[in-house]
Each structure stands twice: as structure tokens, then as C-alpha cells.
Structure 1
Amino acid sequence: MAWLRSFWSGLPAEGRWLLAVVAAQTLGRGLTLPFTIIYLREVRGFDLGVAGALMALVAVAGFAATVPTGRLVDRYGARGVLLGGQGAMAAGCALLAFAAGPWTAGAALTLIGLTFGAALPAFNTMIAAVADGDVRQRFFGVHFALMNLGIGAGGVAGGLFVDVEAPATFAAVYLAEAATALVAMAVLLLPLRRLRGRAGRGAAPGAGRDPAPGPREAGYRAVLRQPAARRLAAVTFIGVLAGHGQFQVGIPSFAREVAGVSTGAIGLAFAVNTVMIVVLQLPVLSAIGGRRRTRAMLVMGGAWAGAWVLLGLSALGAGDLPPGAGPGAGAAVATAGLLAFMAVFAFGETLLQPTVPAVTNDLATDHDRGRYNAVNAAAFNGGAIAAPAVAGLLLGLDLGAWYVGLMAAGCLALCGLALALERVLPPEANGVPATAAPGAR
């Protein structure tokens, strides 16, 4: 706790208000995130194909928004872009609350997706405007822990409130999410009104900024010519494809249809993931401070590969068990494997979130930071689009073992990508001072 108090006291006021924006956003998001597919299927009565296509609109719209968002952030500042994104979120959630037909729901989910496409580059740029160095890395980690805490708390509250037999309860949680977006907008308009969110132009005092206005903002081609930027984007894409992107479709489908885990156990597993992130994030941040960020990515890839092996073993509960095993042994093995997967995977997540965004912003200059963050966001959204397609294809063909093997192989590939990134990454961007780089761990 002393570490957290030191971090909090060392933040400028703008940094504390940014965390307030995170709290408002994620609490509102948690109210609806686990229940949108249920709302579309069981409340609005859309068939599975239509509901799946509507859910895909969120990722597609987010991916499409990243390129223009990066340009807008670099030209006009992140605060205005984030304001626009929160306005779109409020409108999308309010519209979804009353979406009786698929076209209205599609428009609402597209607005929500545009928000996600704008939020990642804009918010990461605003963080870079108020913190640098090790404080920046810690901010990204605290941001991730707070985000999980907010989504977890919102999910519990939403689960206790919504009822498919009472459609008005779903309308209420979507309107509540719209209200939290308005709260975030109020913080951006009032306490953060002086923070443009572009380091070097209206940034907080002491934040990293160029000594003088630099050249005209670099285009995406210039960013992608940098080997470090390309390799970092590859880390993000594979990390989402074999990691975060599997949480909505692949992991619950494998657990339910291959391992035979109960829906209650799946809900418990997601709660374990959230709790582990909240508990582990601060100690992990303390442990990786001053160390090479690429080595943290290396450990993350290994941990995730091991987690996928644990998930594969959970399927033993659906197969043959040793003679003498009790009637409930299969379910116990499957549930234990899933819970272990979620716990180990959470540890890897606490290594990913403080490192990749920090590397992205330490590679960037004040004049192309929006584009660097947009490239990383595009890689994230690309992985989010590919992940359910890969999971659906393999699990639909009853290739559960191949699915787990491919995901584990992808996580091992992350280890190789981390080492390849380390070879081209400046020491400062890798989290160690240049003078300490030769002997840094």
C-alpha cells in the first residue's frame, strides 16, 4: 500500500482525474458487457446469426476508427477525440436500450464500436501527456487493475439486476451506461479542460514534451517503417488472437462444449480472472520496475502457453478418468482446469498491460503519438476480429485439441516476438536507462 500511496501522491491532478474517467467508464461498461448477447437473443428475439453479426460490428467499427483517430489526436489533441467518443458511447447505449429491430441495434453497436476505436489511442495519449518513465508504466498497470475492478463490480451489479423476463431492466442498465459516459464527459470538460492530451501542447507540467515544436506530424507510413513499431504491433495482434480475444467466444465455448463445465463454473472462472488481476497487478508492477519490458512480455508468453495447457487438461473431465473416480470427478477436473487457466492467464495479463502501452508511447514523439497508439489499437482490434473466427472454425469442426494447441503455440510465438522486439528497441523504450542497458535484466 505504501507503493500505491507514493504513486498516487506523485501524480499530477490531471492524472488522478484521468483515473476517475476510467472508473466511470468501466463501471458502466461492466453493467452491460456480459449481457449484450443475452439481450439481443432472449429479450429482442434476434436469431443467433443476426446476433453474432451485430456483435461483430463493435470490433469492425473499432478497427475502422483507429486510423482517422490517430490523425485527429495528433492534429487536434486527444481530449477532443475522447469527448467525441464518450458522446458516441452515450448515444449508442441510449439507442440500444430501445432497439427493437436489428437495424437500430446495428446502428447502436456501431456507435459503441467507434467509441472503442477512439478510446484506446486517445486515452493512452492522454496518459502519456501526464506521466513519463517508470510512472507511465505504473499508470498503465493501475489503469488496467482499476478497469478490471470496475468491470467486475459492474458485472456483479448488472447480473443481480437484469432479468430476461423484464426487458425494462436491460433498458435501465444501458441507460445507466450512457449516464456514466456523460459523467466521463463532465470530467473531461471541467477538471481536465486544460489538458489537450497531446504531450508538448497543453500537457501537464513536467510531462514529457519536445523542447520545441517539431516537424509536421509523421504519417502512418513513417511509423510503420520503424521495425520496433511493426514488431510491437505483431506482439499486440498475436497477444489478442491467442489471449484477450478468446474470452468472449473461444474460452466459454471450449469450457462448455468440450470440457462440459457448468455455466455457473464459467461465471466463477471469469470472477477468478478479475480478482487475480486486481490482487496481482500492484506487486507485479513493483517487481518489473526498472527491468526490460520485453522480458516481462517473454514471461507473459510462457505463462499464457502454460495456461492453455491447463485448459486443455480440463477436457479430461469430459473423457475417460482413472478407475475408481467418483461420479462427480469429471466435473471437478474440468472446473479445476478452467479455474487454474483463468488464474495463470490473469498473471500474464498483469505483465502485458503495463508494458505494451508504455513501449508504444516511449517509442513515439509528441508529434506522432496518436498514430503510434492508433497502430497498436488497430493491431488489437484486428486480433479481436480474428479471434472469434478462428475459435468458431476449429471448435465448430470439433477440433478442440487443435484449438488449444494453436493457442499455446501462438503464446510461445509471443516469446520469440518479444526477443525480436528487444533487438531493435531503444533502451529507454524498453524501460531501462541507456547507461544501464548492457547489464539490465
Structure 2
Amino acid sequence: MIGIRSFWTALPTEGRWLLSTVAIQTLGRGLTLPFTLIYLHEVRGFDLGLSGTLMALIAFVGLVVTGPAGVLTDRYGARSVLLVGITCMVAGNALLAFATTPAVAALALVLVGLNFGVSWPAFNSLISAVVTGDLRQRYFGVNFALVNLGIGVGGVVGGLFVDVHRPETFTTIFLADAASALIPMALLLGPLRHVHGRAERPADDTAATTVRYLDILRLPAVRWLTALTFVATFIGYGQLEAGVPGFARQVAETSTRAIGLGFAVNTAVIVALQFFVLSRISGRRRTRVMIVMAVIWVAAWGMLGATGLMPGGALAVAGVLAFMGVFALGETFLQPSVPAMTNDLASDHTRGRYNALTAGAFQGGAIAGPVAAGFLLDHDLAVVYVATMIAGCVAIAAMALALERHVSGAVNGVPDPAPAPETAPTPVI
């Protein structure tokens, strides 16, 4: 508790406002996230293929608008861009609650995707405008734990509440999701109205107005960090949504209840261990933290792969649960490190674009991951599937070592060594 208290005390007032309502905001997202496909297919009667395509609109639109969102964040400020994104989120969920045709559902999901695309670079930029130094890394970690807590609790509540034979229950959860988005809007219009998250270019920086994404990507550190983020998402979050449940069902032959319990374990581990992990990685090289994460994920994927050797029994269930827990431990190492390094690499007036590159890499991995998993599992290539994931972990470790050569100690989470003091020459007698 001492660590939590000291962290909270060290936060500026604006940081406390941003963090204090995260779990409540994401509770609404948890209500709908696991049940949107079910809603489209079983409640509104769209066929499964169409429902899946409609769901893909969220990630596709988010990826398309991420680049422009980064530019707009730098030009107009994170607060303004966030307000636009939240407005889209409210409208999209409210519209989806009453969507009875594919066209209306598509429009609603496009609006939701717009919010996801603009919110990441804008929100991370706003945090970094308020919180600096080592406190920033800790903030990102605690924020990640609270997001998982809100989504996890929301998923449990939603599962107990919704009923496919009562469409009004789904209408209620989508309206609740829309209402929960009003909380950050109230913060931005009220106590945080003075935090615009925009920095003017330095007076001596004549090239700042022409900084393009290509210019940023020419920096080796940015290229390595972007590639690492893509691979980490591809073998991580891109698999949680499709590959892991598919493997658990088809190869390990576990029940849907076991899979649901696995996601509960994942959330519980993140919430329980994130602050402890933050205390352990503070002041350590972030690239080395990423390597530790890669090692942990190798162990996790090995556990999941082993379930294929003993399908259908209690050991398979235990293996799936162990995978979700160990994988979650790796997440607690990754999530504070990447956004903190991204924002420490960026200058104040280009932070939106740096965060947009990271967000784009994440969304790209989240799109490619399920596609690759579906192909491999559909062709009964379970061994190749697990081997691919382990190879990705090895690639992360290699890229982290390469990244380390191109960043300063401060960007890597440790102080740069102080220059040796000059000594006066020994007088010649």
C-alpha cells in the first residue's frame, strides 16, 4: 500500500483526475466487448460471416484514421481530438443499440472504430503532457491494470445480464457503454478543460512544421520500436481474441466455460501483479524488461502447446488457465514499457505522431494475428502455430537488443551516465 500511496501522492492533480475514473469508463466497454458478435448474429439475425465482417470494421477504420489522428493531435491538441473520438463512441453505441439492419450496424461500428483510432494517440499524448519521468511509466502500468479491471468486471456483469431471448437486455448494455463514455467527456470539459495537450514547436526548429511520418520512421529507434510493437501484438493480443480460444477449443478440446475462466484469470493476474511488477522494473532498462517479457511468453506458449498432447481432460484445462495467467504476467512487463519509451522518444510537438505509429503497429498486429491463427488452425497446423508464436517471442528479444543500441539511457528508463569530472593537470615542477 505504501507504493500505491506514494504513487498517488506524486501524481499532479490532472493525472489523478485522468486515473480516478478509468475503471468506471472501461466498465461500459466490458459490458459489450464479449457480446457484440453474439448480438449481431443471434439477436439481430445477421449471418455469422456478415457479423464477423461488421466487427472487423472497428479495427479497419481504427487503423485507417490513426495516422491522421496523430497529426491532428499535434496540431490541435489531444483534448480536442479526444472529445471528437468520445462523441463518435457515444453516437456509435447508441446507434448500435437499435441497429436492426446491416447498414445501420455498419455505420455504428464505423463510429466506434473512429473513436478507437483517434483515442490511443490522443490519450497517450495527453497523459505524457501531464505526467513525466519515471512516474509516466508507472502511470501507464496502473492505467493498464485499471482498464483490465473495468473490462473484466463489465464482462462478468454483462454475461449475467444479457439474454439472447430478450433483445432489450442488449439494448441496455450498449446504452450503458455510451453513457460510460460521458465520464471522460465530463472530465475534459470540466476539471481538465485547461489541459489541451498541445505543444508549440520550438522557435529554433524551422523543420518542425514539415515533420512527416516518413521522417520519424527514418530514425532507427522508431523503426525497431514500431516493429517490436507489431510482433508483440501479433503473437499476443492478436491471438487472445481468436487464436487462443480456437486452439483451446479445437486442439486442447476444452469447454467454453474453461476459456471464459481463462480470461478471468488473465484479468486477475494483471490487476493483482501490475503494481508489484512496476516496482521491480522501475529504474531498469526497458529493453531488458521486454526481453524478460519475451522469455515469459515463450513459457506461456509452451504451456498452451502442451495441452494438445493431453486434450479433453483436466490437464488441458489446467494448461489453458496456466497459459492465460503466465501470459498476463508478461503483459504487465510490456504495457508500461512501450508507451513510456514511445513518449520519451518523442518531442512535445510530435508526440501525437509517435503515439500514432505505435497505435498503428498495434492495430496492424491485432488484424494480422487472427488471420494467421485462423489459417494455421484451419489447416490443422497446431504445431506450426505454436512454433510461430515462440519464434515471434525470440524475434522480440532480438529487436529489443537492437533497439537498445539506438536509444539513450533516459529513453530506456535509466539515467544517462554523468560525464567524468575534468581533473586539473598535474603541475610540472
TM-score (ref. length: structure 2): 0.95
What pairs with 1:263-412 in structure 2 (closer than 5 Å)?
263-318=256-311, 330-412=312-394
Q: Which residue of 2 aligns with 1:68?
A: 68
1:146 matched to which residue of 2?
A: 146
What is the distance in 1 between the residues matched to 2:193 and 2:12? 14
1:213 shift after superposition: 7.7
Asked whether 1:434 is paired with 2:427, we answer no
| Aligned counterparts of 1:422 and 1:21: Cα–Cα separation in 2 | 35
Partner SS for 1:149: helix
What is the rounded CA distance, in whole Å, between the counterparts of 1:20 and 1:110 in structure 2?
Answer: 29
Separation of aligned partners in 1, 2:251 and 2:43 = 28
Aligned ranges 1:126-275 → 2 under 5 Å: 126-198=126-198, 200=199, 214-215=205-206, 216-217=208-209, 218-275=211-268
**Percent identical residues:** 60
1:92-136 CA distance string (max 9 Å, x none): 101111111111111111111111111110010011011111000
Residue type of the alignment partner of 1:220: Y
Deviation at 1:24, TM superposition (A): 3.5
How much does 1:27 deviate? 1.0
| Deviation per residue, 1:329-373 (Å, 9 max, x gap) | x42011011011011100100000000000000000011100000
Q: Which moved more, 1:14-23 or 1:356-365?
A: 14-23
Distance in 2, Cα, partners of 1:284 & 1:138: 10
CA distances 1:6-49 after superposition (whole Å, capped 9, x unpaired) = 11011111101111352333111011111111111111111121
Q: Partner residue of 2:406?
A: 424
Which AA in structure 1 matches 2:372? V
Task: Report the 3-state secondary structure (helix = DSSP H, G, I; strand = E; otherwise coil) of the residue aligned with 1:424.
Answer: coil
Q: How does 1:91-110 map to 2 (within 5 A)?
A: 91-110=91-110
**Cα deviation, residue 90, structure 1:** 0.4
Q: Which amino acid aligns with 1:67?
A: G
Moved more, 20-29 or 112-121: 20-29
User: Could you tell me which residue of structure 1 aligns to residue 426 of structure 2?
Assistant: none
Letter in 1 for 2:306: L
Letter in 2 for 1:87: T
Deviations 1:52-85 (A, max 9, x none): 1111111101100111000000000000101111
Q: Which amino acid aligns with 1:235?
A: L
**Letter aligned with residue 165 of structure 1:** H
AA aligned to 2:26 is: T
Q: Which amino acid counterpart does residue 379 of structure 2 have in structure 1? A: L
Find the aligned partners of 1:336 and 1:432 in 2 and give their Cα distance.
39
Give, in whole Å, the separation in 1 of the partners of 2:137 and 2:158. 31
Q: Which amino acid aligns with 1:250?
A: G
Q: 1:253 to 1:359 in 2, by over 3 A?
A: same
Change (3 A) 1:150 1:137: same
> In structure 2, how many angstroms separate the alpha carbons of the residues matched to 1:102 and 1:109?
10
Q: Is the 8 A contact 1:29 1:154 kept in 2?
A: yes
CA distance in 1, matches of 2:48, 2:233: 24
Shift of 1:404: 1.2
Contact 1:427 / 1:437 at 8 angstroms: preserved in 2? no
Q: Match of 1:57?
A: 57
AA aligned to 1:228 is: A
Residue by residue, what CA displacement relative to the aligned partner does 1:174-196 show, whole Å, maximum 9, x if unpaired? Answer: 00000011122111110110000
Offset, 1:395: 0.9
Q: Tell me, what secondary structure is at the counterpart of 1:132?
A: coil
**2-side partners of 1:352 and 1:408: how far apart?**
16
1:214 and 1:367 in contact (8 A); partners too:
no
Distance in 1, matches of 2:265 and 2:217, equals 38
- What secondary structure sits across from 1:194 in the alignment? coil
TM-aligned CA deviation for residue 385 of structure 1: 0.9
* TM, length-normalised to structure 1: 0.92
Q: Which amino acid aligns with 2:348?
A: D
The DSSP-based 3-state class of the residue aligned with 1:434 is coil
State the shift of 1:247 in Å. 1.2
Please tell me whether the aligned partners of residues 316 and 333 of structure 1 are also in contact (alpha carbons under 8 angstroms). no
Amino acid at match of 1:378: G
Taking the aligned partners of 1:119 and 1:97, their CA distance within structure 2 comes to: 22
